[in-house]
């Protein structure tokens, strides 16, 4: 359950319960408590100071015969993050641990989730999360896969090596400034198809435009993801019906 300062409750979804108990949410710049079995705290962020990563990548190292593999990917939604994490788990069904983490800003909300995947409490997910806190990194999914090599690392060794996995992965993926993205539905008559597609192609890199869906019926309807500032440009085009969500 998420609890606001005024006592209003939000019920955790079944998927969130399955993921773990470390959950943080910020909605419309309002401050919310993070509720877990141990403690809760208040957080707030300024989007202009946030970072993300530039690319998907993999790192790997060994510590006392334990093999650590770090998988990291920039993501724009909780669904994309969970799909990536589940895909890594499927790749390593025999791993001793697949420690998942994601931190996503989606539709005005911030989701920060992680767990220890069977490692001792707070020795895996939490140190990885602390690296993201220190580096101020958002919109990223990360999995630390560990194959036990027969030598116990102890709590301190686990904390150091899971933190190392996150740090190496983030640095390899290249830290860049976070730019807020939004999802838009645009709708237009067929006669304007060439003009609209020319605009989208010319500005694809400027606004990081990604076409998510395209449907043809009486009119053309397109769902796109793009940097939030594209909204002004879209609204300047009278031929378009634009819906932001």
Using an 8 Å Cβ cutoff, are 147 and 155 in contact?
Answer: no
Backbone angles phi, psi at 29, to 5 degrees: 65, 10
Tell whether the torsion through CA atoms of 80, 28, 45 and 6 is positive or negative: negative
Average pLDDT over residues 199-217: 90
pLDDT at 147: 98
Q: Which of 217, 227, 224 is nearest to 196 (CA)?
A: 224
Q: Hey, what are 170's tokens?
A: 């983030």
Q: Is the pTM of this model over 0.85?
A: no
For the stretch 142-186, pLDDT in tens is 999 999 999 999 999 999 999 999 999 999 999 998 887 788 999
Distance of CA 195 to the CA centre of its chain: 33
Backbone angles phi, psi at 91, to 5 degrees: -70, -30
Backbone angles phi, psi at 130, to 5 degrees: -65, -35
pLDDT at 108: 76
For the stretch 55-98, pLDDT in tens is 999 999 999 999 999 999 999 889 999 999 999 999 999 999 99
Q: Quick count: other Cβ atoms within 10 Å of Cβ 46?
A: 8
Residue scoring higher pLDDT (2 or 198): 198
pLDDT at 4: 36
Q: Which of 135, 119, 239 is nearest to 191 (CA)?
A: 239
């Amino acid at each position: 359950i998420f609890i606001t300062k005024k006592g209003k409750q939000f019920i955790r979804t079944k998927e969130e319960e399955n993921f773990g108990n470390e959950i943080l949410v910020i909605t419309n710049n309002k401050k919310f408590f993070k509720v877990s079995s141990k403690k809760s705290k208040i957080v707030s962020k300024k989007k202009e100071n946030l970072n993300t990563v530039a690319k998907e990548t993999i790192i790997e190292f060994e510590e006392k015969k334990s093999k650590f593999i770090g998988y990291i990917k920039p993501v724009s939604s909780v669904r994309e993050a969970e799909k990536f994490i589940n895909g890594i788990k499927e790749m390593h069904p025999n791993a001793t641990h697949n420690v998942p983490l994601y931190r996503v800003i989606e539709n005005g909300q911030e989701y920060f989730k992680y767990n220890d995947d069977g490692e001792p409490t707070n020795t895996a997910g939490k140190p990885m999360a602390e690296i993201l806190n220190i580096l101020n990194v958002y919109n990223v999914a990360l999995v630390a896969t560990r194959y036990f090599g027969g030598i116990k690392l102890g709590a301190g060794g686990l904390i150091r090596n899971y933190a190392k996995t996150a740090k190496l992965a983030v640095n390899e993926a290249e830290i860049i400034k976070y730019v807020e993205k939004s999802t838009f539905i645009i709708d237009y008559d067929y006669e304007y198809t060439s003009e609209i597609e020319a605009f989208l192609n010319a500005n694809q890199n400027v606004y990081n435009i990604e076409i998510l869906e395209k449907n043809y019926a009486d009119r053309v309807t397109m769902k796109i993801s793009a940097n939030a500032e594209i909204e002004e440009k879209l609204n300047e085009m009278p031929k378009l019906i634009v819906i932001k969500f």
